Amino acid sequence: MLLDASLSQLVLVDYQARLMPAIFESEAVAKNAVRLGKMAQLVDVPVWGTEQNPSKLGENLPDIRALCQRTLAKMHFSGVEEGLGDWLRPAEPQPQAQRGNARSLPKHLQKPAAPADERGTIVIAGCEAHVCLLQTALDLLEDEFEVWVVTDACSSRTERNRDAAFDRLAGAGAELVTTEMVGFEWLRTAEHSAFRDLQALIR
């Protein structure tokens, strides 16, 4: 099973200015988050952000915040608890008004309206891996999204907490991937028009 860019969305969780200095390998993690956001833009994958209690922890790092279409300020550790799932799943289309002629089918026999285009594959990365990233990802799995966790763009204050989060997420059904895996799976071929630009991001 490979990632499909046309079905994917990217969520970048809590790369906040006052939090990142305490994060294990924070510089590499933030660089990979920026790479992910830029890769997503190359292949038209929507990018969303979250910020935990931004009045205390500050906004996301500017390079990351600029890549997000919208950023959700939250107090719950899981972004899903504060409406992230509503951003990720489009609203159901409203049924068309019935014309009511004699040949109309009864409501229970009518064909339902086609659902809005759904991108049910969520590529997610962030901090701290064992708190906000973990709880958001588990809630997304519970809401029947496919969840792909980008391990080299995630961290915690300690390596042990980060690794414990990865173990738990894998056991819950999330796919564990790296930034380069995501980028090349979104492309699928060296003939993709964005191949050279993506290659430049990882060199």
Q: Is residue 65 within 8 Å of 59, Cβ to Cβ?
A: yes
The answer to whether residue 185 sits within a structural domain is yes
The answer to whether residue 183 sits within a structural domain is yes
Dihedral through CA 134, CA 172, CA 83, CA 86, nearest 10?
140
The answer to whether residue 120 sits within a structural domain is no
Q: How many folded domains does the chain comprise? A: 1
Tell me which residue of 92, 74, 94 sits closest to 84, measured CA to CA: 74
Q: Which range is least confidently modeled, 32-46, 47-61, 66-80, 91-105?
A: 91-105
Residue 56 predicted with pLDDT over 70: yes
Beta-strand ranges (E) seen in 14-112 are 47-52, 70-74
Domain with 27 in it: what CATH number? 3.40.50.850
Q: What is the pLDDT of residues 84-108, one digit of tens each?
A: 999 999 766 555 544 445 455 555 5
Q: What is the pLDDT of residues 111-122, one digit of tens each?
A: 454 455 689 999
Q: In Å, how far are 8, 99, 115, 144 from 121, measured between CA atoms?
A: 5, 37, 16, 10
Mean pLDDT of 172-200: 96
110 or 72: which leads in pLDDT: 72
Q: Name the residue range of residue 44's domain.
A: 17-82+130-140+152-203
Q: In Å, how far are 22, 51, 82, 160, 195 from 127, measured between CA atoms?
A: 11, 10, 17, 14, 29
Residue 125 predicted with pLDDT over 90: yes
The answer to whether residue 201 sits within a structural domain is yes
The answer to whether residue 5 sits within a structural domain is no
The answer to whether residue 118 sits within a structural domain is no
3-state secondary structure of 115: coil
Provide CB contacts within 8 A for 76, sequence distance 6+. 82, 135
3-state secondary structure of 74: strand
Mean pLDDT of 29-39: 98
| pLDDT value at residue 114 | 42
The answer to whether residue 192 sits within a structural domain is yes
Q: Is residue 174 within 8 Å of 142, Cβ to Cβ?
A: no
pTM above 0.95, yes or no: no
Tell me which residue of 1, 8, 2 sits closest to 118, measured CA to CA: 8
Residue 74 predicted with pLDDT over 60: yes
Please, what is the average pLDDT of the chain? 91
Tell me which residue of 29, 30, 147, 22 sits closest to 84, measured CA to CA: 147
Q: What is the pLDDT of residues 127-140, one digit of tens each?
A: 999 999 999 999 99
The answer to whether residue 100 sits within a structural domain is no
